[in-house]
Structure 1
Amino acid sequence: MASTNLLSNTRVVRASYADKSKVTTAQFRVETHQNIDLNSVKPGEIILRNLYLSLDPYVRFSLDETGGDTPASLRRLNDPFYGLGISEVVASGSSQYPVGSLLSVNTGYEKYTHLSGVDDSNNEHGIRVLPAHARDESKGVPLSNYISALGMPGLTAFAGLKVLGVQTGKTIFLGSAAGGVGQLVGQLAKKQGLTVIGSAGTDEKVCYLVEKQHFDAAFNYKAEDTRTALARLAPQGVDYYYDTVGGEILDTMLDVISEKGKILSVGMISQENGKEAYPIRNLKLIARKGVSLLGFIYWHHLEYFVNGELDSTVRPLLERKEINYREEVFDGIENAPEHFVNMLEGKYAGKVVIKIADL
């Protein structure tokens, strides 16, 4: 007998590769199929109804035909683009994730996602069961925060400061300070007694960092070069550089940072989206100045999800409005390609999220 539980699924698929070129909406195709069967789940499988989708620069690498760290299985043409999402389980063949479970998970750019192998110990889908209070938005913490301030960007900010070993009274500088990670790093660093300086790409973002998120100072890197700005804003020197930009600014900071300073390398957005790699010239200063250059990737620090420390530390700050976390939330999965391209080009402030459906 034919299934009577087929659901229509709109999704964004990879239509062509960008490789070394700038990403445009031509790399994507939006299509709709009647292909989700709620009766089709087998043991170890689940079907998700996707609610929110995070747009992140690192996913750009899946638009390269070869190379990079992205597995070939996540770079195939005509497959759904992917990202971190918040989803509700609507059909389940897994005792770990029963129907009604609310998850943070690597999912497709689509309304519904059918996952297999969810009971495997390697957790290749990055599944995290959200706490019951994630559903409660009455205290001013939207569910979308679980892929932003309480999700991967939040973990990156929270754990990154721990890896840096920041100390009260020191000065930290953040490139791309208005982004999903930087804005939280700055505000958490202020809570820990640091002087916080950030850079952003528009005057509006700079004002927001200082007036709403209480950075000590910020500057527009398109209007003033980093060396000049830091000489003006941090005459006492910079002790820590939280780097999500890389390239020329990283090269400058190797020269500018104080003796025995620390640099945390989290990302290199300046080198993405078809940009040529910038030749770093100041590497010799790492030894000469005793600078520590530390690498960071969030999945080395998942214990802060598991033990609840990120949630128990940051959520109360959000509830009490002691942290102002800026999200840009756009409706409709079909609009994801346009917003993904705009995000790569730095047109938005804060964390960029697509709302797909209501809980």
Structure 2
Amino acid sequence: MAQSNTLLANTRIIRASYANKSRVTNNQFRIETHQDVDLQSVKPGEIILRNLYLSLDPYVRFSLDETGGDLPLEYRKLNDIFYGLGIAEVVASGVPKYPIGTLVSGSIGYENFTRLTGLDDPNTQSDLRILPPHARDESTGVPLSNYISALGMPGLTAFSGLKMLGVEKGKTIFVGSAAGGVGQLVGQLAKIQGLTVIGSAGTDEKVAYLVKTQHFDGAFNYKTDDAREALLRLAPQGIDYYYDTVGGEILDLVLELINEKGKILSVGMVSQENGSESYPIRNLKLIARRGVSILGFIYWHHLQYFENGELDATVRPLLEQKKVNYREEVFAGIENTPEHFINMLDGKYAGKVVIKIADL
């Protein structure tokens, strides 16, 4: 995209009000468009990004809490723009490391264009990742959007989370929220490694897709099925590993059913988000009684798998060879972000939810 003297229009999604303990609605969002992007105004240490894809992730819900939550106050200010993970092209640059035309992924605004500053300051913390040249090549069946899904943060979370658990062939893993952006890849990678894989999802369609298309050994609908009965039926040999993105009541149940010396990876607690009250875990005494390990996971502790190329080298060939079937829901238009963010939190979509902002 060539530089010009023309100011470009930028549509932004603004945080209009807090949801706090309530369900997120359209009241939390405001859409603004300003003709104010000047590509020739970039200064040393700055870049301007033309945003291509935006990832919709449950953690952004914390930015709608006035107090508390896991995000710093600077990401929770009213009348300010939302930020999330995305893919973008550098269209103006004052940083030699990021020449014009570079594809990157990292934190971007919910907007058409994002200006990042201070990138020449060694003290500036940035999660910006330069994508490999082959990310542009979609002819092998791997879309660019996969670099914020199977080859992005969800992929890193699935890949490195299984490494943390130290999974062994022949054991059984239960994956919570298995139809989501992380869970679907956890299950398929675990299956490739020789494990028996059980998952839960929120609709019968998602359950069928997990078993028929993504090769899970079994799955159940946590909204309509009795979870205890389903886990006893699908995993009669017991559960050795629980990949937990749900928390709450299902975590309490797994503590009852998990095998001795079992391992639980705590990645998130989606059941406690979007205004839900915290669930009091009652079976904590079983951790000691059975020698269970609970490991806390934060994805930015594992960025080395981006940096050394191991995630890309391992997972991309599986996608190309169709050994992994990764499900994305891609919707067009930055202005439609609020609707799809709300629907994502309400569990209305299957797979990873992505907003396509512009063509490459």
Q: TM-score, normalised by structure 1?
A: 0.98
Partner residue in 2 for 1:12? 13
The Cα shift of 1:122 comes to: 5.2
Q: Which runs of 5+ in 1 are unaligned?
A: none
**CA separation in 2, counterparts of 1:4 and 1:65?**
40
Task: Give, in angstroms, the shift of residue 71 of structure 1.
Answer: 1.3
Which residue does 2:42 correspond to in 1?
41
After TM superposition, list the pairs within 5 Å mapping 1:188-337 onto structure 2: 188-337=189-338
Q: More displaced, 118-127 or 342-351?
A: 118-127
Q: Structure 1 CA distance, aligned partners of 2:307 and 2:124?
A: 13
After superposition, the C-alpha distances for 1:242-288 in whole angstroms (9 at most, x for unaligned) are: 00000111111111101110000000000001100000111110000
Where structure 2 has 5 or more consecutive residues not aligned to the other structure, the ranges are: none
Equivalence map 1:118-157=2 (5 Å): 118-121=119-122, 124-157=125-158
- SS of equivalent residue, structure 1 residue 39: helix
Following the alignment from structure 2 to structure 1, what is the Cα–Cα distance between the partners of residues 173 and 106?
Answer: 32
How many angstroms apart in 2 are the aligned matches of 1:123 and 1:85?
19
Q: One-letter code of the match for 1:296?
A: F
Taking the aligned partners of 2:221 and 2:251, their CA distance within structure 1 comes to: 16
Q: Is the 8 A contact 2:5 2:39 kept in 1?
A: no
Question: TM-score if structure 2 supplies the norm length?
Answer: 0.98
Q: Deviations over 1:304-350 (max 9, x none)?
A: 00000000000000000110000000000000000000000000000
Q: Alpha-carbon deviation of 1:168?
A: 0.2
1:188 to 1:123, Cα distance in 2 relative to 1, 3 A: farther
1:54 aligns with 55
Alignment: residue pair count: 357
Q: CA deviation at 1:123?
A: 5.3
Greater CA deviation, 30-39 or 262-271? 30-39
3-state secondary structure, aligned to 1:53: strand
Query: Could you report, residue by residue, the CA deviation over 1:213-262 in whole angstroms, capped at 9, with x for unpaired residues?
Result: 00000111111122110111111111000000001111111111011100
Report the alpha carbon displacement of residue 170 of structure 1 after superposing the two structures with TM.
Answer: 0.2
Work out the CA distance in 2 between the residues paired with 1:82 and 1:206: 32
* CA shift for structure 1 position 4: 3.0
Quote the offset at 1:95 in angstroms: 0.7
- Counterpart-to-counterpart distance in 2, 1:124 and 1:65: 24
3-state DSSP of counterpart to 1:113: strand
Equivalent residue, structure 1, for 2:69: 68
Mapped partners of 2:153, 2:324: distance in 1: 17
Q: How far apart are the structure 1 equivalents of 2:323 and 2:28?
A: 40
Contact 1:148 1:154 in 2 (8 A): yes
Question: Is the alpha carbon distance of 1:123 and 1:252 closer, same or farther for their aligned partners in structure 2, counting shifts above 3 Å?
Answer: farther
Residues 8 and 35 in structure 1, CA contact (< 8 A), matched pair in contact too = yes
Distance between the aligned counterparts of 1:120 and 1:300, measured in 2? Answer: 22
Write the letter of the residue equivalent to 1:126. D
Residue pair 1:96, 1:119 contacting (<8 A) in 2 also: no
Q: Look up the match of 1:183.
A: 184
| 2:95 pairs with 1:94 | yes
Question: Aligned partners of 2:123, 2:302: CA distance in 1, in Å?
Answer: 15
What residue is the counterpart of 2:115 in the other structure?
A: 114
CA distance in 2, matches of 1:120, 1:286: 45
Which amino acid in the other structure matches residue 307 of structure 2? V
Describe the shift of the 1:122–1:308 C-alpha distance in structure 2 as closer, same or farther (beyond 3 A). farther
Superposed displacement of residue 5, structure 1: 2.7
